Structure 1
Amino acid sequence: MWNLEIHSLEYNVWLELPPYLCRLDVTFQKECHCEGEDKRIPLLKEVFEAFPHTPVNIDIKVNNDMLIKKVSQLVSQYQREHLTVWGNVSHEIVDKCHKENAHIPILFCLRRVLLLLGLFYTGLLPFFPIPEDFLEIPMPSIILKLKEPEKVSRSQRFTIWFTDMLLMRKALFDHLNARGIQVYIWVLNEEHEYKRAFDLGATGVMTDYPTKLKNFLHNYPA
């Protein structure tokens, strides 16, 4: 599944955007870079046309009614409702997306993730309806590898460990999977991270190295 961030659909704004840098840092892989020749930022319709059968995750970054409507129209135009999921951490944006086109699956926003955890740990989750189709959350422990060890305080380490223990729960993922809700964990770039995610019952992971993930899945026993 491709992960796209949509900020604007104004064509004149797109024309003014600078090209990608030839060399970019890989955010979730310390001291690593990626390089490529195609530096132009593609339009959403170009992505749909180039990858007609590839699932796409769309993060609506701006709370703009016209933006949401235009994205919905493109998804419908290319008949991709079954191949697209959209949303944002903002509850308001996700609500607008769902009202604009209820046929496109939606993500859990931050508020709903917190509610999900509350219901799970109180034992009430089985009794509540869930309109979302995808839970996409970070693996908190990966934050430690982005920082210099000496710069991480004891309280920060405890917070990361505690958040990781709350979110990375096999019982939670298994419950969601049983209800047809996919669980994606991001952004994982090491084989031991892939293994932990899938051992916990994740449906998929987001990675900066899709070929590396593909090779891992080829040998993963499950």
Structure 2
Amino acid sequence: MLGAIALIALGYIVVSYVFFLFPRLLHKPKLVTQMPVHISHRGGAGERIENTLRAFQNAVELGTDMLELDCHLTKDGEVVILHDGNLKRSTGVNVDVSEVNYAELPQYLPKLEVQFHPGHFSHAKSPSDRKILRLFDLFTSFPHTPMNIDIKVDDDRLINKVGNMIREFHREKFTIWGSFSAKTCAKLKAANPAVPCFFPLDSVLRLFTYYVFGLLPFMPITYEYLELPLVAASNYPESATATGLNRIKMKVMLWLMDFLLCSPRLYCHLKARGVPNMHLTV
């Protein structure tokens, strides 16, 4: 009996290893169009006021491969580029963006602390550098610049507006979008299936679990891009609190990342299946 179990286990290990090394025997690789090396997080929050037109202009001028940004919806239905749902940290006004019409939004603070670098501040050079930007205006300014859009809330209106705007600007080949929420990501795929989507948090944990137990070669991969935060960011208490890195689920994911990032075999497997991986810092 034990011999049979051992034989089955050995057979499973061998088969899993072969398909891990040669995943294209089971899976057709995904066809992705963007392989960025340098991504400007929030437009380069450490150099200009985050998510502003001036920040994105600066990043493009410096030769970034991709702009990363966050989207929310105003009271009157404008898609704005903003990280927080509440405006207190960025503008000093304690109000949710969803409760304010676009024309009435306050400006960013002239000096804004960088969330991922406590004690470091970005400064606005003029009042125009402090304006909260609409996604429409960014698409108009940089129609062919690759962008990575983080949908911050599970809002059907926001999802559909962003999906339609990507379609109207013919940006499917220049855009990645996604959310930490698997529920939101499912809605994104339904809203515009042509836009590649990054892994939500639950799928990242599932991917690592499949890898550890040798199941990954046999499992389909739903999402197109694996985006991981810099593990070292969790060492800053202020940034960990501000970005949710202190949550139990996030701590587990970061521990797994810290353990598994030393495995180039995992990323070779993902690369063979057409899934790029990206690590986001400031």
Q: How does 1:101-180 map to 2 (within 5 A)?
A: 101-144=192-235, 146-147=236-237, 162-168=255-261, 169-180=263-274
Query: In structure 2, what is the equivalent of residue 18 of structure 1?
Result: 106
- 1:139·1:164 contact (CA, 8 Å) conserved in 2? no
Identity %: 35
Q: Quick one: structure 1 residues 141 and 79, their matched pair in 2 at CA, closer, same or farther if it must change by over 3 Å? A: same
Taking the aligned partners of 1:88 and 1:180, their CA distance within structure 2 comes to 20
Task: Report the AA paired with residue 165 of structure 1.
Answer: D
Partner residue, 1:6:
71
What does residue 50 of structure 1 align with? 141
Tell me how far 1:131 sits from its aligned partner: 2.1
How far 1:64 sits from its partner (Å)? 1.3
Say if 1:167 and 1:33 are closer, same or farther in 2 by CA, change over 3 A.
Answer: farther
What corresponds to 1:68 in structure 2?
159
Question: Is it true that 1:34 corresponds to 2:122 in the alignment?
Answer: yes
Query: SS of the counterpart of 1:7?
Result: strand
1:72 to 1:129, Cα distance in 2 relative to 1, 3 A: same
Structure 2 vs 1, CA of residues 160 and 116 (structure 1 numbering), >3 Å: closer, same or farther? closer
Are residue 186 (structure 1) and residue 251 (structure 2) matched? no
| CA displacement at 1:166 relative to structure 2 | 3.0
Larger Cα-atom Rg: 2
After TM superposition, the runs of 4+ consecutive aligned structure 1 residues lying more than 6 A away are 158-161
CA distance 1:161–1:78, shift in 2 (3 Å): closer
CA distance in 1, matches of 2:224, 2:253: 26
Q: Retained in 2: the 8 A contact 1:141–1:164?
A: no
Residues 118-167 of structure 1: CA distance to partner in whole angstroms, max 9, x if unpaired? Answer: 111111112111121111111222322x249xxxxxxxxx9798444334
TM superposition score normalised by structure 2: 0.59
Choose the corresponding residue for 1:99, options 172, 190, 209. 190
Indicate the RMSD between aligned Cα atoms, in angstroms: 2.2
In structure 2, the gaps of 5 or more residues are 1-65, 79-99, 239-250
Distance 1:69 1:159 in 2: 32
Distance 2:157 2:253 in 1: 38
2-side partners of 1:175 and 1:78: how far apart?
34
